[in-house]
Amino acid sequence: MTLIGMLHHRADPEKVKRSYAYASAAKSEGAEFFYFTAGKVDINRETILGKKYEDGKWIDKEFPFPDVIFNASYPATENGEKIIDHLYERIPFTSHSIGNKLTVYEKIKNGKQFEQYLIPSAELSNLELLFEMVHSYSKVIIKPLSGNQGGGILFIEEAEAGTFKINDKGKIYSLDQERLVQSIKDLDEVFLIQPFITCKTKAGNVFDFRLHVQKAGKGEWVITSIFPRIGPSGSIASNLGGGGYTCYLEDFLRNEFDHSWFDVKRTLEYFAIRFASHFDTLYDQSLDELGIDVGIDENQKLWIFEVNWRPGIPVIYRGELDVAKNTILYAKYLAAQNSKA
């Protein structure tokens, strides 16, 4: 029986909502599962004091080193990192970081195959670049290189000569060039800048699609879910964590794309698997799960907005259990492949 350890920085699995779903999925798939933190690892004895879900509660139990580790979250301490490095050298981990937004952009660009879907982007290394891009594209977006859930995104549009329209989470105001420069300096973050691509519903709300893909029992990419994310009125971002909302994919497509809705659905499904398979080859370590955010503009051209590592659980029916099942199946696959090596 495959022994799977779920690594997390929180000591109590009751505070990690996903933990029960993974424990349940592991039991259904015939694997033994336990939850642990770096501080409970005994390197010398090669044991871990973990927690196993039994009879409706988590109980402490000592385990040998697992066959595979589902690294759901890393420790924040230096000592914890050393322990994880030790485990990493001996046990396969399911997940590997893809880097920040600029790293991802450069990977896709250099990989060529999906370059046509990229929005031209650059690190906002100086404010001269900001004004060059505003003049070139009229509307731009800046976003933190390592941000998530739409945090820190600013929409900047050239208005009258010497003034700029700013949209910050739906709050709209104007700044002259000097005040705009100072406000960005005050943010004290490293930003990515790109032209603003318009993807709006018939009602005028911004939207995109989250393509949630995972590797499953055969080590091949599968679609866990595809769902639209619609921003609230006046917003420039559709992230669910920033006030956006979702609905069933087919209902959304029928409403927004009329008779071509099925073609759009097939395009999204085809793109999700093709892109994930290609993107995976751009890294030294095999990836396990991606949240690919794409938009479709008024000309029905598809654009890659963002690629996320460890995407949030889809806000759709049974999404949490689907994610957990695929994670467990892939963990079993990794353990089997490692035993053959």
Q: What is the pLDDT of residue 241?
A: 65
Q: What is the pLDDT of residue 167?
A: 86
pTM for the whole thing? 0.92
Q: What is the pLDDT of residue 149?
A: 58
The conformation of residue 110, written as its DSSP 8-state character, comes to H
Q: What is the pLDDT of residue 116?
A: 97
Same domain, 47 and 182: no
Same domain, 249 and 284: yes
Q: What is the pLDDT of residue 234?
A: 73
Distance CA 305, CA 290 (A): 13
Residue ranges making up the domain that contains 191 = 122-195
Quick check: is 334 in a domain? no
Distance CA 11, CA 23 (A): 16
Quick check: is 95 in a domain? no
Same domain, 43 and 174: no
Classified as helix, coil or strand, 5 is strand
Same domain, 114 and 127: no
Could you tell me the two tokens for 116? 């046509």
Nearest CA to 128 among 188, 193, 174? 193
Same domain, 151 and 294: no
Same domain, 141 and 252: no
Same domain, 285 and 191: no
Same domain, 50 and 110: no
Same domain, 164 and 187: yes
Same domain, 220 and 258: yes
Same domain, 171 and 217: no
Q: What is the pLDDT of residue 317?
A: 64
Domain harbouring 241, CATH code: 3.30.470.20
Q: What is the pLDDT of residue 276?
A: 98
Show the low-confidence residues of the chain (pLDDT under 50): none
Quick count: other Cβ atoms within 10 Å of Cβ 136? 10
Q: How many domains does the chain have?
A: 3
Q: What are phi and psi of 309, to 5 degrees?
A: -95, 140
pLDDT tens for 77-119 read 889 999 999 999 999 999 999 999 999 999 999 999 999 999 9
Distance CA 178, CA 84 (A): 47
Quick check: is 182 in a domain? yes
Quick check: is 336 in a domain? no
Asked if 212 and 223 count as a contact pair (C-beta separation under 8 A), the reply is yes
Quick check: is 319 in a domain? no
Same domain, 187 and 234: no
Quick check: is 322 in a domain? no
* Sheet of strand 163-168, all strands in order from the earlier edge strand to the far edge: 122-123, 191-195, 139-144, 154-158, 163-168, 171-176
Q: What is the pLDDT of residue 16?
A: 93
Quick check: is 96 in a domain? no
